[in-house]
Amino acid sequence: MSLLTKMDPETVRFFSGSSNRPLAADLCSYLDVPLVDTHISRFSNDNLYIQLGATVRGREVFIVQSLTSPVNDHLVELLMMLDIARSSAAKEVHAVIPYFSFARSDKKDAPRISITARLIADLLQTAGATHVMTIMLHSPQVHGFFSMPTDPLTSRPVLKKYFQGRDLRDTIVISPDMGQAKSAARFAKELGLPVAAGNKERISDTQVRINGIIGDQVSGCRRALVYDDEIATGGSIEEIVFHLIRAGIEEVWVVCTHGVFVRGGLERLTRIPEITEIVTTDTVYIPPEQRHPKLHILSVASLLGDAIQMNHSGLSISNLFAYGDDNA
């Protein structure tokens, strides 16, 4: 008999902000619970007005919101929804943030700047979140910025399932930089593949330089699986792909959890003939009209649903953690 406790639609409430309603709907369908309406509008002075569409008193409340563009609007939406749930006597308030974009601001590497990831973590707790669930934080230390229980999930089970049935002979997993090398090494191990990482030097927000490859030799491999947590402008991926092509790689699969694809990032990569496939997840919503034939989007609804169900049932979810011992 399963140890999972089926969620009672009368005792839980699921709401979505405006950033990724399709993922929220898929999540609720997976859990067999309704997605309750959220009424979002603006006053004449541009201030947001939000009303949750059902009572939350004494309920477990789940608010799904990715921090995607326009990031600041979506953040304020999330903070307001958390505050509404808390002040309306919700029993628990769970912030489900598939893409936590502020995780990139994780250190003070210049004078007079904010460690914004820590600031947002504090704001979430102040607004009323009693628990946070997210997927693939940019770096492990961001987890430590949260004072409330926080579950940083990994997308590797979803990506592994997609690639397990493929012919992976003569394939090597490549991380564009050393910062993501450990995550890439875990993914490579699960697929039984060698791994290497680019020695990246960041020149600006949109410009990087790859000075070489560190790790297993690329020579002898026909295909590279370039693995990263997030792709925005595509600059790092483009640079590492050109380096790999010069090293003799004939085909490239690009894989990431968060397909942000701004400033022509997707077009930049699809123009490279050697890139035959770009695989991402739906943590960031990409409208159908902006998708390319090379782009494949995998759903994380089941990943989030399993984690929520296990957490609701009081079961360990360490096997789904990005940095847990089970994924070392």
Active site residues: 200
Q: What share of the chain is helix, strand, coil (3-state, %, to 5)?
A: 35, 25, 40
Q: What are phi and psi of 50, to 5 degrees?
A: -135, 135
DSSP state of 327: G
Distance from C-alpha of 45 to C-alpha of 43, rounded to nearest angstrom: 5
Distance from C-alpha of 238 to C-alpha of 240, rounded to nearest angstrom: 6
Contact 200, 210 (CB under 8 A): yes
Contact 33, 16 (CB under 8 A): no
74, 167, 231, 249, 302 from 65: Cα distances, Å:
7, 36, 19, 39, 16
Distance from C-alpha of 43 to C-alpha of 30, rounded to nearest angstrom: 35
User: Which residue in this structure is represented by tokens 């990482």?
Assistant: 197
Residue 185 contacts by C-beta under 8 Å, 6 or more apart in sequence? Answer: 173, 175, 195
Contact 31, 7 (CB under 8 A): yes
Distance from C-alpha of 160 to C-alpha of 183, rounded to nearest angstrom: 13
Burial degree of 31 (CB within 10 A; 0-12, 13-18, 19+): buried
Distance from C-alpha of 250 to C-alpha of 296, rounded to nearest angstrom: 20
SS3 39: strand
Distance from C-alpha of 290 to C-alpha of 296, rounded to nearest angstrom: 12
